Amino acid sequence: MPRRLSRRTSRAVAFRGPVFDVTREGVRLANGRRAVYDVVRHRGSVVLVPQPSRDTVVLIRQFRWAIGRWIWELPAGSLEPGERPDRAARRECAEETGLEPARVRRLGTLYPTPGFCDERMIFYRCTGLAAPRRPPARDEDEQIEPRTFRIADVRRMIARGQIVDMKTVVGLGLAGRSSTA
Ligand SMILES: [Mg+2]
């Protein structure tokens, strides 16, 4: 760690959105030089590893506009303002898989893109999955198809390049290292 910390000298909001802002920030670095950083300031998100059983996981197939393709991935979503992450995990699990978890267990917290974005992804294993009495509300801008996979098959899909979403690879790694609930 440097003895003198970098210090922000200016901050302009270039874009303000419902989930993240983009800022341009002037910084005086610890070595005395100046730099300008464009930063995505994000509210944070939860990533879910919903496991109907020890050796299965629910993935969702979703069209991702930014990359222009359908991909398989772990369910995930941004925190609502002021929302506790474990609550968000339960909510997103129900919204995206149609199943409510009896138990959610935190697996780890990671920064997916620290070069220009402060988003923290909090990973949860979700177990005790059951269909809710009322069908959950789903975000209208999401086209989602959930499906249960054997984890061994998902690992093969990763090895073949059929899964291209990094949080999905990381989430399965975290779930594989911890004991199953
Ligand atoms: Mg989502």
CA of 30 to the centre of ligand 1 (A): 38
Give the pLDDT mean for 125-140. 80
CA of 93 to the centre of ligand 1 (A): 9
Q: For the chain, what is the HEC assignment?
A: CCCCCCEEEEEEEEEECCCEEEEEEEEECCCCCEEEEEEEEECCEEEEEECCCCCEEEEEEEEECCCCEEEEECCEEECCCCCCHHHHHHHHHHHHHCCEEEEEEEEEEECCCCCCECCCEEEEEEEEEECCCCCCCCCCCCCEEEEEEEHHHHHHHHHCCCCCCHHHHHHHHHHHHCCCC
CA of 76 to the centre of ligand 1 (A): 4
CA of 165 to the centre of ligand 1 (A): 13
CA of 143 to the centre of ligand 1 (A): 10
CA of 179 to the centre of ligand 1 (A): 26
Q: What is the pTM of this model?
A: 0.90
More confident site: 126 or 176: 126
CA of 128 to the centre of ligand 1 (A): 21
CA of 115 to the centre of ligand 1 (A): 23
CA of 14 to the centre of ligand 1 (A): 25
How much is the pLDDT for 3?
Answer: 62
Instruction: Check whether 4 has a pLDDT greater than 70.
Output: yes
CA of 139 to the centre of ligand 1 (A): 8
CA of 34 to the centre of ligand 1 (A): 37
Give residue-wise pLDDT tens across range 50-90: 999 999 999 999 999 999 999 999 999 999 999 999 999 99
How much is the pLDDT for 135?
Answer: 65
CA of 51 to the centre of ligand 1 (A): 17
Phi, psi of 10 (to 5 degrees): -155, 160
Confidence of residue 143 (pLDDT cuts 50, 70, 90): confident
Confidence of residue 133 (pLDDT cuts 50, 70, 90): confident
Q: How many residues does the chain have?
A: 181
Instruction: Check whether 181 has a pLDDT greater than 50.
Output: no
CA of 96 to the centre of ligand 1 (A): 7
User: What is the percentage of the chain residues whose pLDDT exceeds 70?
Assistant: 91
Taking the C-alpha atoms of residue 155 and residue 144, their distance in angstroms, rounded to an integer, is 21
